[in-house]
Amino acid sequence: MRVTEPRCRIGLTMWSHNEWQASFFGRGTKTSQRLEKYAQVFNTVEGNTTFYATPASSTVANWHSATPDNFRFTFKLPSAITHQHQLVNCQEALSDFLRVMSPLHEKVGMWTIQLPAQFSPEQLSNLMAFCQWFPKDFPLGIEVRHLAFFDKGENEKRLNHWLVETGIDRIIMDSRPVFAAKPDTPAVIEAHSQKPRVPTHAIATAEQPMIRFIGHPDLEANSTFFAPWLKTIPQWIEQGKTPYIMVHTPDNNLAPQLAKQLYQQLQQLTTLPALARFPAEDDDGQQLAMF
């Protein structure tokens, strides 16, 4: 059966978080059911788990069975490839990883290559060579963090021109909201120390531009920072692109609520389907029905 591609995909950086039990999943949801419940609402997720370790084959099979055909994962490559070896002499490691993930290939919206801040323009040839090892039909996204790739000069132009020529998406980091927050809670202090503070360049180098929106802990404060995207994202959709919006908050406790808020703002400007109710909202309805 042919799956219709959504005009826009929105999701979070994880599908399992203990703080979401009562507010998102619902009280009776088991840990093993969280991905299934998550996929009832959001149609994509940023797969951070593969950055830290390659999953077992049985785990990959479970992820496949828990998600519908139109769901899309965006899995990060293992840090052993991107950070420890920085893409050098990694063909075998990449092949092994893709082989384990093969049951999910049709549900991967983007394989993401997150590079460390020390990966500089002098190493761009390593990135170019590495990407040739991917099958031609595999959608790729690349996130750079070295400030020289944001200088709007030859370094950035060379990167962007290559991405356009090869049809690879440049992942956009929007960390303005979180760095606008006062570092007066442990979560914000940790976010300030760990999240990259790089310029936000709204450029679509291929067909699936991805925005990683790292939100302010005050949900309402995010509207100011999301306002420019309310112009850019509808333009991309009209051009036939499928934007991905990955939503973070400092501790991710309210990430589902922020994603819903941002998506509803987009709905006012372009034709998008409504998000499904959070599974926990059905708990509330059942409780009310008892009285």
The domains of the chain, with CATH numbers, are: 9-289 (3.20.20.410)
The percentage of the chain sitting over the pLDDT mark of 70, rounded to a whole number, equals 96
pLDDT class of 217 with cuts at 50, 70, 90: very high
Q: What pLDDT score does 290 carry?
A: 32
pLDDT class of 284 with cuts at 50, 70, 90: low
Selection from 230, 216, 228 nearest residue 266 by Cα: 230
Rg (CA), the chain: 19
pLDDT class of 287 with cuts at 50, 70, 90: very low
Angle between helices 154-166 and 124-131 (to 10 degrees): 10
For residue range 40-99, what is the model confidence (pLDDT) as tens digits?
999 999 988 999 999 999 999 999 999 999 999 999 999 999 999 999 999 999 999 999
Q: What pLDDT score does 3 carry?
A: 52
Contacts for 50-53: CB closer than 8 Å, 24+ residues apart: 50/75, 50/76, 50/77, 50/78, 50/97, 50/101, 51/76, 51/77, 51/78, 51/79, 51/82, 51/114, 52/78, 52/79, 53/78
Instruction: Give whole-number Cα distances, 174 to 40, 74, 195, 234, 245, in Å.
Output: 26, 18, 10, 17, 11
> Which residue's entry shows tokens 């991107």?
82
Secondary structure letter of residue 119 according to DSSP = -
User: What number is the average pLDDT over the span 127-144?
Assistant: 95
Give the chain's mean pLDDT: 93
